[in-house]
Structure 1
């Protein structure tokens, strides 16, 4: 949890307004009991270790004195004046703030606290000042306390009034060592290992596990910062800790069950409706606003406008102008959602939160770390080094660029054919993580043996995880249209993906279908997938992965010719069931697939659809309660059924684009079952 730091000048004590307490929320006894328990809880807290220790100890000692006073008050069963009640309530608030500050510091990054040491010290001093203010106006003489208790209050008042803001010299010296190390990186000065050890020992970061936890906390701090300067500072600290972890403790030993996997595919995530483009229904990469106030993905709306349209796709209003205004707020929300879902946001374009120009120190730390790891590949056990490169490539775009620029891709390719399942998984996943960066896609495609190595892992990898990550790598590479065509021409890619979709476990099938869907966007690839049996593979997965499998069939039927329609003929009944039982996206895809098949296949396909039990009710429900796109597709299906029932088998593409005429319920065709 981030510590809230507000840099403000030293101010006078905040006066309390003592007024009439109309309806106290709790009785005097309950109020004192609450104060006693709060002071007990706070006085039993452990002071911060390593940094800010004196500041936290000072507050805890003062609260221990209060706890003794509240203990005596609790046993006295007094009735207190309204001014005393107000003081007690204010004191309760101050103690809660003390507790929150100590807890926040405990959970926060130690290095981040160290750089903010003056601000945090001021926060501790401010709380002591507020406590002193309450004690000054507390009507102690009305409480009938023992002399010992009165002496404690007098002592506490003096301690609070004499308190000054201070930074422990030890903390200040440690901060200077850290900043000097980071400043040296700007001039490409390699940090001295003995000095690094001293810094992290003083911080209590004594092993690799504690450094990894520190990195995670720093990443949380980075996400919480709103100004560029703070994000740069946090990025520099992350670079320092990563470098220290690698240099001081060496490459990590891969766990047989690592706690991270590659990025999620979009099919695994439940994308919020507001994050989907109204045109493609896919996650928006670069949301922009048109003149009507509607938001679309830039690529989709740009293509719509360039196709000659001058209206808003969602509202139908004429566009006053074609200027596209970036929706930065929504883009940042999408970026944060991607982080929460563990989907690297770099996949969805540049910009947004965290996409600012990387700081020099972070880049230099990363370069030094990559250089260290590359050198280790020739002398150390390769699996540990490749695992470290895999983890580093997963972290951010700076690391991906540095790893590729250091020539790591050809070295990783050597391990794709390894007999060690763990080494093979780490190698292919490292290449997958590197491929997220746009310029690395070209590097991978142009590296000798890289593409063939990934394809071979897809076809005959040692584990399903390796095969799935190979499929995900092909999906990533296929985001560039020229590579989409190049990959689709390779029979081994097509058959490998289809075999994985047929035989793999659910997660591997999902990766295969997502990659197939991407490659099927190129019309010339569709025929090869049909010949490889993708339609049957998708049909078999309707129950297991309905959204992905139906989407694949829709794409194949839409882009393919009569051969694709013929291959999907046996799925007509299953598509009808998906319209009845699937989610909104699945229903839309199923209806769209049937519409395309009816348009291309003629009356025989409509007749087959008419034999689906209850199809009319399903269509009517979709027209009435489905999504806008689903309703349009369902209305088209009803029109096909109506014509077929009337014996009109003459269908053309022109009739498909005519305005929808919805039949009355009494004229719905009732098929013979």
Structure 2
């Protein structure tokens, strides 16, 4: 038998697979022993993580220990097992699968408040599963099995206890749950809870540091994204609101070294400096020694490529390949941080990778409107506290507040709205203008980037005079990451028509964007080029963009970054926009970028890229006259590419390709046909 993994299962769901009816008794016993050992390992290694349902967890772990001893004794007699015994063992196999998942969920770091608020449901799951152990054991005729009398007595005792077991919510958990619900009502009515009461509940759950609290926020947000039926949305939002408030009011992320180290882990995925220093071997699968495509983490904390570790497990191995420890669970947890690190590393080093494993898609619209009034109250209060820290705190407090705004606004629209309404933009801009601290600057510009993704944030940045300080960070930011994020802020701001003109009026803005195209990282170049495209939507910016030598820089990019299709597509999009006007066409003809456009047209697999190329070439033909046509005529690969688009391109692309072909044919006809006298009649050949 093999280990079945349910890496995509929802939290507190317990899928299980019935053993095949043809499975051999020896294989069934071996797999049962593995399941019981898994449960035993969870108990020994994660005892401290069971902050609720402790009695039920202890019972489950005691059952697993006795069952493991029973199975060890039973092993040598597997061939003598009756059909009834095999049925009982098969039922026990299903029960232990579910029990292992339940215990793993109860011990999961980050899920403690959610476990507490679902205490009744979880107690019911424990009750059903522990009683199922009794039912399964009663199928096994112990008198017909030649095992020690002591083990038989233990199994009979266990079956009897399991049949009568009463599992409910423990008194201390019940009181903590009542306190939480009382606090949620306070948030709903616009009152803040007593910090002492809040800390008492969190201490019960052993949520005692900034990182413990942030783990709760991150887990609850993931559950909101995964929620499909909306049946739990209100409680999820309420819980997250409570933890966001706790994070901001009760904890200091710099209070201890552990929090600081974990903060660095969270920041690492966004730091190009770290990427440059990163050892590529850290991103390789320890089994295949290749860069991981779909990194997953096993119970020992080691990360492997999914396909490699699955092959390892399916081969019958039950240990971690690196540490040699027995795996407490066969579950594979997707490691999104490592995935993003690999993606960034590949971009920065020009490495092409195959399509990576599917990641869970986030629908940010789920975070637009909280499903509970308690969450609204809690998040608004937390936002006010954060802005207060920005306004009045010392440098370290401002850095902490900027970082928390950055993290809380990263993927939550409602958080962005509340922070903007609380006045965060004004104070973040003040930090940019006054601080020389590189970390504070990095956190502040990243926070502004997240807030600029909402229209109210863009409006606030513009109206507060935020363009000059953002441009200054793009030019002189202490970190490459800060410069890249500043360019991204300008991109979102340029969605506003008034902003496009205002950005163009800042003398350093456009040259700084072009400088990013020359010397920036992949992401900086990407942010720079899309911002330039957006600025071109205001016609008054074209001359300034041409004066900054943008076309020549793009020509270099099309050669040096030809393998980066997204970036190439954006570059030809800018050229297509520039070519719409005669001055842009003249600049393109002077820069000798035509051959690059034809190469992209022929080689690109992007439909958008092909359409941009045809649009650019068509505008160049119309605006460039005979000079442009003569240059195109000397490119033999152009015509076959255009003809292929007539049948393979989109409707719009085909239409433009046909127009371009007509222009070329008309030019050739005029050039090579005999010159006809004015009003001379044309005689068609028969």
User: TM-score higher than 0.5 here?
Assistant: yes
The Cα shift of 1:119 comes to 0.4
- Per-residue deviation, residues 441-492 of structure 1 (Å, max 9, x unmatched): 2222222x32222233334434433332222112112223343344345444
CA contact (8 A) 2:399 2:440 kept: yes
CA contact (8 A) 2:370 2:376 kept: no
- Per-residue deviation, residues 152-198 of structure 1 (Å, max 9, x unmatched): 23212211111123111121111112222222222333333332322
Distance 1:344 1:452, change over 3 A: farther
The residue that corresponds to 1:646 in the other structure is 669
CA contact (8 A) 1:603 1:649 kept: no
The residue that corresponds to 1:615 in the other structure is 638
The residue that corresponds to 1:421 in the other structure is 438
Verify: 1:564 aligned to 2:574, yes or no.
no
Of residues 268, 277, 284 in structure 2, which corresponds to 1:259? 268
Of residues 358, 362, 386 in structure 1, which corresponds to 2:375? 362
Distance 1:109 1:536, change over 3 A: same
Verify: 1:235 aligned to 2:243, yes or no.
no
Verify: 1:553 aligned to 2:575, yes or no.
yes
* Partner Cα separation in structure 2 for residue 376 and residue 87 of structure 1: 61
CA contact (8 A) 2:29 2:78 kept: no
Verify: 1:576 aligned to 2:598, yes or no.
yes
* Partner Cα separation in structure 2 for residue 458 and residue 81 of structure 1: 75
Normalising by structure 1, what TM-score?
A: 0.75
* Partner Cα separation in structure 2 for residue 353 and residue 515 of structure 1: 28
The alignment partner of 1:415 has SS state of helix
The residue that corresponds to 2:12 in the other structure is 4
> Please, which runs of 5 or more residues in structure 2 have no aligned partner?
1-8, 255-259, 273-357, 562-566, 674-686
* Partner Cα separation in structure 1 for residue 81 and residue 409 of structure 2: 64
The alignment partner of 2:579 has SS state of helix
The alignment partner of 1:602 has SS state of helix
Distance 1:460 1:72, change over 3 A: closer
Verify: 1:443 aligned to 2:460, yes or no.
yes
Verify: 1:458 aligned to 2:474, yes or no.
yes
Distance 1:577 1:498, change over 3 A: same
The residue that corresponds to 2:490 in the other structure is 474
CA contact (8 A) 1:2 1:104 kept: no
CA contact (8 A) 1:366 1:402 kept: yes
| Higher RCO, Cα 8 Å, sep 6+ | 2
CA contact (8 A) 2:233 2:371 kept: no
CA contact (8 A) 1:36 1:71 kept: yes
Distance 1:83 1:634, change over 3 A: farther
- Per-residue deviation, residues 301-343 of structure 1 (Å, max 9, x unmatched): xxxxxxxxxxxxxxxxxxxxxxxxxxxxxxxxxxxxxxx9899
The Cα shift of 1:225 comes to 2.2
CA contact (8 A) 2:402 2:428 kept: yes
The residue that corresponds to 2:34 in the other structure is 37
The Cα shift of 1:257 comes to 8.5
The Cα shift of 1:3 comes to 2.6
- Per-residue deviation, residues 12-60 of structure 1 (Å, max 9, x unmatched): xxxxx9xxx9x94322222223223332332333155211221121122
Q: Decide which moves more: 123-132 or 409-418.
A: 409-418
CA contact (8 A) 2:494 2:534 kept: yes
CA contact (8 A) 2:602 2:637 kept: no
Q: How does 1:569-608 map to 2 (within 5 A)?
A: 569=589, 570-584=592-606, 585-608=608-631
The Cα shift of 1:618 comes to 3.7
CA contact (8 A) 1:87 1:138 kept: yes
The residue that corresponds to 1:247 in the other structure is 249
- Per-residue deviation, residues 563-595 of structure 1 (Å, max 9, x unmatched): 111111121111111123333233332232112
* Partner Cα separation in structure 2 for residue 174 and residue 166 of structure 1: 15
> Please, which runs of 5 or more residues in structure 1 have no aligned partner?
7-16, 264-339, 347-351, 651-673
CA contact (8 A) 1:262 1:429 kept: no
CA contact (8 A) 1:5 1:123 kept: no
Distance 1:165 1:649, change over 3 A: farther
Q: Decide which moves more: 219-228 or 93-102.
A: 219-228
CA contact (8 A) 1:643 1:649 kept: no
RMSD between aligned residues: 3.1
* Partner Cα separation in structure 2 for residue 227 and residue 444 of structure 1: 37
The residue that corresponds to 2:118 in the other structure is 116
* Partner Cα separation in structure 2 for residue 490 and residue 74 of structure 1: 80
Distance 1:31 1:394, change over 3 A: closer
